[in-house]
Each structure stands twice: as structure tokens, then as C-alpha cells.
Amino acid sequence: MAFVRGTSQYFIFNAVDLTASLASEVKLGNAGGESDASTIGNNWQRFLQAQAGGQFSVSGVWDSGTAATGLDSTLFAALNGGGPRQYQYAPAGSASPSDGVNSYWGHGIVTAFEVGGAVGDKVPFSATIRLSDAGTAALLWDDFD
């Protein structure tokens, strides 16, 4: 088993590499849903698998970047509409599937974006990206060549 440090993470959203701005953390949380199918007379509850869901929580140091690649033009613009955008997340770090590392990819919508800080300190940001895919939100690929 190969363990990795968080310093090598890679995160891209809407075709923009946000890795350098993510100084604090990237977290991917997934949860499966359930529907109670119990009936009168059951001694145990019965459940059916329901829709799964997930979200990314990202945070770091705000960077205005450029009009095309900054956090505002990427995350804040996505918060203001336009539908799901593609993401790729590689916990072990990689910009390319040919590097042979696992990567999560799919589409998501930005549901929260926060920026601001104290005078004389770095300006932090955080964002929440809700996964929006029909079963491919956490698809794992690996190069087995």
C-alpha cells in the first residue's frame, strides 16, 4: 500500500487548475441514500438503496488570478449559474491519466463560495461543490499499462 501526503493533491474545476490556491484542504465526501421499506410486523427494519450524493469542500488562499483563471472567474462565476461544470481530483497528484494514479472526476455545481479575512493577514477562501452526475461523480480510473 502506498501512502501519500496531502501536498501532492491536484484539483481542476471547469478546466482551470486550482491546485496552487488550495493551500488548506480538499475534502470529498460521498454518502449513499436509503429508503425505509419496513412494513408492519417486521422485527427488523428493511432498507432499499436510494440515490447517493456527495460534495467537495475546498479551501485555501484567495488568488484573483486572471479574468480566465482566477477563483472569482471560476468558482464565483459557477455559483451564479450555468449548470454543472467538470472537475478532476487526484489525491496523490496528477494532471494526466497516463501518470497511473487514481483520480475522481465528474460534474458539480458550486453551492457556496466565501472569501475574506483580517487586515494584515492572508485572504482565505472556501467553496462547496455539490456533485451532479448520474452515477459517475466519483469514477475512479487507473492506468494499468
Task: Tell me if 49 sits within 8 A of 111, measured CB to CB.
Answer: no
57, β-bridge pairs: 27, 128
Q: Low-confidence residues of the chain, pLDDT below 70?
A: 1-8, 24, 65-69, 93-101, 134-145
The candidate with the shortest Cα–Cα distance to 104, out of 93, 112, 113, is 93
78 contacts 3 by C-beta, under 8 angstroms: no
